[in-house]
């Protein structure tokens, strides 16, 4: 593969931001306005909205997860000098899995009590997490693209955190055979681990 030494970051950032925006918007399309008729419409509407609660829950933690990917993506590209042909394709691989997230989110909302839906969602998140970590690893270590203000400790810790997230999703998938409630709880809690400060942020 031909490697171009100097490529602007602007187009890859703009394209990625567009994909992130579309993916976040697609999450809302999981919702359909419930149809009610006759009788006590307030009671019936309340019951139908309550029945949609799994969709609301999966929407919220998928929105948070995708938003956190966007923050991490922004930080990564802010801290590198330029893009390369390899980075472009690694970014496309990450966006491939990112753009798929609304579908397993909808499946999990529709079938929250099934092991298959829980595993389907978890596998998608593992692939998205690993593909992003792979892009980060290339940018920091193989491509040598990190700017001077990005410390070696930050690179190591941020990469470890990304891989740790994928490992947690894999553990949650394994638990789904015994308790789907625990698996879903882990899916909801994993994003909050990333709010713990790295104590290493430089940007």
Output the CA torsion 144→195→183→122 (10° steps).
Answer: -30
Query: How many Cβ atoms sit within 10 Å of the Cβ of residue 87?
Result: 23
pTM confidence score: 0.85
Q: Number of structural domains, the chain?
A: 1
Report if residue 50 sits inside a domain. yes
Q: Which residues pair with 83 in a beta bridge?
A: 7
Mean pLDDT, rounded, of the chain: 86
Report if residue 1 sits inside a domain. no
Report if residue 76 sits inside a domain. yes
Q: Give the residue, 195 or 54, on which the prediction is more confident.
A: 54
Report if residue 37 sits inside a domain. yes
Q: Give the residue, 6 or 98, on which the prediction is more confident.
A: 98
Residue 144 has pLDDT above 90, yes or no: no
Structure token digits, residue 118: 């829980």
Structure token digits, residue 86: 């390899």
Q: Residue 151 sits in which domain range?
A: 10-193
Contact 29, 102 (CB under 8 A): yes
Confidence of residue 101 (pLDDT cuts 50, 70, 90): very high
Model pLDDT for residues 15-64, shown as the tens digit of each residue: 999 999 999 999 988 788 888 777 778 888 888 888 888 888 889 889 99
Report if residue 202 sits inside a domain. no
Residue 26 burial class via C-beta count within 10 angstroms: exposed 0-12, middle 13-18, buried 19 and up: middle
Task: Please give the pLDDT value at position 42.
Answer: 85
Task: Please give the pLDDT value at position 162.
Answer: 85
CA atoms of 166 and 128, how far apart (whole Å): 8
3-state SS class at 57 = helix
Residues 6+ apart with CB under 8 A from 95: 16, 19
Report if residue 198 sits inside a domain. no
3-state SS class at 146 = strand
Task: Please give the pLDDT value at position 199.
Answer: 42
Task: Please give the pLDDT value at position 24.
Answer: 93
Residue 130 has pLDDT above 60, yes or no: yes
Task: Please give the pLDDT value at position 157.
Answer: 87
Confidence of residue 196 (pLDDT cuts 50, 70, 90): low
The secondary element (H helix, E strand) that includes residue 182 is helix 180-193
Model pLDDT for residues 181-190, shown as the tens digit of each residue: 888 888 888 8
CA atoms of 86 and 104, how far apart (whole Å): 28
Tell which residue, 53, 60, 165, 169, has the closest CA to residue 112.
53
Report if residue 69 sits inside a domain. yes
Tell which residue, 136, 15, 131, has the closest CA to residue 80.
136
Structure token digits, residue 102: 């609304």
């Amino acid at each position: 593969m031909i490697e171009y030494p100097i490529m602007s970051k602007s187009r890859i950032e703009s394209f990625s931001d567009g994909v992130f925006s579309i993916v976040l918007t697609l999450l809302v399309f999981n919702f359909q306005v419930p149809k009610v008729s006759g009788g006590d419409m307030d009671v019936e509407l309340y019951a139908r909205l309550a029945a949609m609660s799994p969709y609301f829950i999966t929407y919220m933690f998928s929105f948070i997860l995708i938003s956190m990917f966007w923050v991490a993506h922004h930080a990564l590209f802010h801290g590198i000098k330029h893009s390369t042909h390899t980075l472009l394709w690694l970014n496309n691989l990450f966006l491939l899995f990112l753009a798929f997230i609304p579908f397993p989110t909808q499946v999990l909302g529709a079938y929250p009590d099934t092991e298959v839906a829980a595993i389907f969602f978890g596998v998608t998140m593992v692939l998205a997490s690993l593909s992003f970590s792979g892009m980060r690893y290339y940018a920091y270590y193989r491509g040598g693209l990190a700017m001077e203000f990005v410390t070696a400790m930050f690179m190591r810790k941020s990469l470890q955190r990304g891989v740790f997230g994928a490992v947690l999703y894999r553990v949650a998938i394994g638990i789904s055979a015994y308790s789907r409630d625990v698996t879903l709880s882990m899916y909801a809690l994993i994003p909050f681990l990333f709010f713990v400060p790295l104590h290493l942020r430089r940007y």
